[in-house]
Structure 1
Amino acid sequence: MDMISRPFEPPAPVPRAQDLSKFEVLRTVLRNPLELWSEQSYTLPWIETRFVNQQTLIVNDPGLIRYILVENVANYEMSEVRRLVLRPILRDGLLTAEGATWKRTRKAVAPVFTPRHAKGFADKMLSTCEHYAGRYDRAVDTHGVVDIATDMTELTYDILAETLFSGQIAAETESFTRDVETLLGSMGRVDPMDMLLAPSWVPRVTRWGSGKLMRRFGTVVAATMEERRRQMRAHPDTVPQDFLTLLLEREGPDGLHADEIADNILTFIGAGHETTARALGWTFYCIAHAPEFRALMETEIDRVIGNGTDPVDWLENMPHVRAAFEESMRLYPPAPSINRAAIEADSWTSPTGERIDIAKGVSVLVMPWTLHRHTLYWERPRAFMPQRFMPGNRESLHRFQYLPFGAGPRVCIGATFALQEAVIALGVLMKTYRFDVTPQTRPWPVQRLTTQPQGGIPMRVTRR
């Protein structure tokens, strides 16, 4: 693999050398769960441990991951801790629903993400990015610094609103994106009461004050649904055939309930753009420290856009841009943990004959954060080396050693949407502008619902 000699190692917690007491574990979970993991988590294929009050299996072996998430997926449900964290926000949205509710919702949502919608998505992504890019002219003229993390949250919200809701979310963009960020930052964190598996009615100190925001979101979602219903009744031939319409067309006794539709709207408005936004912010930060690779990206962008390539084909025609984004998702996975629990006792035997028994009720952690930085599966795992994902290198990766979108039946339904969105956003912005770090650019990864940069990512914008 053609690697540069001294690649950039972006900031991340150093693996712990010593075990933590129960109190220290709870304190670290409250502050930043990414700081929990020991050296063993980054070097062993699996670890059996007791985590607070729960017997826990931490899984890094790609074969065992495939077994749990695909081959015997029916035996593994969302863990209780994960439910306690996510359900207060997303309720029965696609990310948190189980059983028959999840199957009905997945079937209802799937048509939105078929290939025939790709071109329409790409065109709207392009126009939204071009419109957003104009705001950087003033920053350039004033030698200004922007927080690229906040900007990408706003941009991906604009894209989601235009593509999946045809610009008809009943909220003002800037204040609403701030509300989304606040909500996911507070309610998306693990509370000590979650770790202790306390019932959901027990107050969570870390989420005090979030009720007002949730009620505000409920008002926005209800208004958005009612306005679209009105359009469907009054102008059925011209109503947009988007995500919102498809959900409402499936409303009824044999389809989705109104509350389930509202939950999925909230899921996609919130988590649907937050994940891509975080990955884009980290990408701009990492490539600023890799000027040689950034130059290759810029050359590629100039050629593809200069040739008038249809934006739906940018993903295929910009391998350097895609590789940088995928490497950023390796180092800073948008969803840093996948939490499951064994419904019944189970066992798995590796190709080399090692057997592991999994007791009923055991909590199973598949951790993209540790898996993506694991010494058994990656060369120089802490370094930013996007060449790993270039054609010719990417094919050597095991399907289950890289899980930015999860895997199995519950793999992220919008994965291709997110990749296309990211490449178009990077292409449009990098065609005209360059983003560089400043002395104040010191992001620190913290785990909330996503891997967020504490302190933001301030960057100076210049015109290329």
Structure 2
Amino acid sequence: MDAEPAPFIPPAPQPRTSPPSFLEMLRTVYRNPIALWGEPSYNQPYVHITKGIGAPMVVANDPALIRHILVDNVKNYRMAKVRQLILRPILRDGLLTAEGETWKRGRKAMAPVFTPRHIRGFAQPMKTVAERFVQKYEEPAERGDPVEIAHDMTQITYEILAETLFSNEIAGVPDEFGDKVDRLLHTMGRVDPLDLLAAPEFIPRLTRIRGRKTLRYFRGIVRETMDMRRERLERGEDAPEDFLTLLLRAMGPNGLSEEEVEDNIITFIGAGHETTARALAWTLYCLSQAPAERAKVEEEVDRVVADIADPYDWLDAMPITRAAFEETMRLYPPAPSINRESIEADEWRDLKMAAGTTILVMPWTLHRHRLYWDQPEAFMPSRFLPENRERIDRYQYLPFGAGPRVCIGATFAMQEAAIALGVMLSRYRFDLAEGAPHPFPVQKLTVQPQNGIRMRVARR
């Protein structure tokens, strides 16, 4: 019997073996924050930094410590200042950045959209959009031309979101959207050195000034989208009972303000599809480099797509495909950091955290941690198969966060990924284009492939 091939080791920054200089730290945080972390962050239950810029700080890796912060004593931890400095200019009071009563109002208003009944209703539109989208691969497959798969996954997830949550009534030009998202995250979605130096907010962050035009573009789209739907509702015309209508109906003295509705639409259009898009692109890349794993996925996808008519049932019927997607999110977590700040002093076992301590729960380091994973740097989807899932602690794997602020769209994203992969992989095979560099992960809010992923598409 042939031996199992060695697992694929995807590209990633190597853990640092020595602390960076001050200037090197600033440069690394601006260019690629996930390249900053050293060996202790991948080997220790936690790292407690009491001196230096940004101190005190704790990098929390132990699942029990993470549970303490995100669940058991969650009231003592608010959003970290640096995170808010980056995200609030973009999302304002959207669900990712709002706190307190504003967050509660938004979460309550959106919860009905993501009930099992609604999620089931999204399945067929997701499949229809994916089938329409993959038609674009016919000509590249015929000619052997490469495609930019990272950009394409941004486009397909945008089209799925537009169809399901907004009934395909988003203003603007869809073809421009992927480029605009990339530009927004490249400019405004990055840590500025002044953030690390705790400079006052009124001092302009030069790195973000270039993104203001793109942000105005997004907000213009949202206002136009809201106005179009609101006019229909005011005229008494039939309007789809989708995410957009639900938010507009939630406006009022005891509900959401107009600004909060706008902020939450921005959050879902700008960030809600971006995370799934990145995970899909990385999945196609990892499978292209692991032929044995890809063969298992293709066999499963072919059977399920042929035998099961309702795409809502695909996710449960495709455990191998789901495992490949989840393993990809382990290696390339779409949201690589969860940042909090302690309000009052706190203790956990022998760790004493002063008030104002920055807490970094880092899926990037946690998902590659040597205490909690076997061969953590390897692409091994089998660890997420149903028979192995019980070995993974709930707070060891955080692609969608945890606690009260767990991603409200997690089920939506998993269903979307299963359907998109089912449609794409049942028709086409994706391989890294000849001569194309292997993609290197860079953190810009999400974990993105530097310079994209050029792939060759072939009909199956």
Name the structure 2 match of 1:281. 281
Which position in structure 1 is the counterpart of 2:196? 195
Q: Does the CA-based 8 Å contact 2:187-2:210 persist in structure 1? A: no
Contact 1:43–1:374 under 8 Å retained in 2: yes
Q: Distance in 2 between matches of 1:214 and 1:403?
A: 29
Residue 243 (structure 2) pairs with residue 243 (structure 1):
yes
Q: Name the % identity.
A: 58
Q: Answer yes or no: is the 8 Å Cα contact 1:170–1:223 preserved in 2.
A: yes
The structural deviation recorded for 1:177 is: 2.6
Letter in 1 for 2:456: R
- Pairing 1:454–2:435 present: no
Residue 120 of structure 1: how far off its partner (Å): 1.6
- Root-mean-square deviation (CA), in Å? 1.1
Could you tell me which amino acid in structure 1 is paired with residue 77 of structure 2? Y
Local SS of the residue matching 1:18: coil
Give the whole-Å Cα distance in 2 for the aligned partners of 1:329 and 1:4: 23
Query: Does the CA-based 8 Å contact 2:125-2:164 persist in structure 1?
Result: yes
What are the superposed Cα offsets for residues 390-429 of structure 1, whole Å, 9 maximum, x if unpaired?
1101121000000000000000000010000001000000
The residue that corresponds to 1:209 in the other structure is 210
Shift of 1:51: 5.2
What is the TM-score when the length of structure 1 is the normalising length?
0.97
Q: 1:93 touches 1:266 (CA, 8 Å); kept in 2?
A: yes
Residue 72 to residue 4, structure 1, CA distance change in 2 (3 Å): farther
Matched-pair contact (CA < 8 Å) for 1:185–1:449: no
Contact 1:442–1:455, Cα closer than 8 Å, also in 2: no
Deviates more, 1:43-52 or 1:316-325: 43-52
Cα-to-partner distance string for 1:21-52 (whole Å, 9 max, x where unaligned): 22211111011101100011100000111452
- Whether the 8 Å CA contact 1:144–1:460 is kept in 2: the answer is yes
Q: Could you tell me whether the CA contact under 8 Å between 1:377 and 1:401 is conserved in 2?
A: yes
Q: What does the per-residue CA deviation read over 1:278-329, in whole Å, with 9 as the maximum and x for residues that have no partner?
A: 0000000000011111111111111111113310010100011100000000
For the 8 Å contact 2:95–2:264, the answer to whether it is kept is yes
- 1:28 is aligned to 2:23: no
User: 1:129 is matched with which residue?
Assistant: 130
Out of 370, 378, 384, the residue aligned to residue 373 of structure 2 is 378
Amino acid at match of 1:423: A
Alignment of 1:144-159 (within 5 A): 144-159=145-160
Report the AA paired with residue 61 of structure 2: N
Higher mean alpha-carbon deviation, 243-252 vs 15-24, is at 15-24
Amino acid at match of 1:448: K
Structure 1 distance, partners of 2:128, 2:256, is 33
CA offsets, 1:415-447, max 9 Å, x none? 010000001000000001000013213211011
> What are structure 1's unaligned runs of at least 5 residues?
350-354
What CA distance in whole angstroms lies between the structure 1 residues aligned with 2:245 and 2:313? 27
SS in 2 for 1:54: coil
List structure 1 segments (4+ residues) > 3 angstroms apart after TM superposition.
Answer: none
CA–CA distance in structure 2, aligned partners of residues 224 and 199 of structure 1: 35
CA distance, structure 2, for counterparts of residue 139 and residue 380 of structure 1: 36
Partner of 2:116: 115
* Residue number in structure 2 paired with 1:86: 87
Instruction: Give the Cα–Cα distance (whole angstroms) in 1 for the partners of residues 132 and 54 of structure 2.
Output: 51
Aligned partners of 1:343 and 1:262: how far apart in 2? 29
Offset of 1:4 from its aligned partner?
Answer: 4.1
Q: Which residue of 2 aligns with 1:270?
A: 270
Give the C-alpha shift of residue 5 in structure 1: 4.5
Name the residue aligned to 1:55.
56
Q: What are the within-5 Å matches in structure 2 for residues 351-366 of structure 1?
A: 355-366=350-361
Task: Tell me the residue number matched to 1:75.
Answer: 76
SS of equivalent to 1:398: coil
Q: Does 1:400 align with 2:401?
A: no
Structure 2 counterpart of 1:102, one-letter code? W
| Counterpart residue type for residue 118 of structure 1 | I
Distance 1:325 1:274 in 2: 15
Using the alignment, how far apart are the partners of 1:336 and 1:118 within structure 2?
A: 26
Aligned position for 2:164: 163
Please give the TM-score of this superposition, normalised by the length of structure 2.
0.98
The answer to whether the Cα contact below 8 Å between 1:57 and 1:363 also exists between their aligned partners in 2 is yes
2: CA distance between counterparts of 1:4 and 1:51?
47
- Contact kept in structure 2, 1:336 and 1:447, CA below 8 Å: yes
3-state SS of 1:135 partner:
helix
Alignment of 1:410-449 (within 5 A): 410-438=405-433, 439-449=435-445
| Structure 2 counterpart of 1:352 | none
- Residues in 1 aligned to 2:42 and 2:256: alpha-carbon distance in whole angstroms: 42
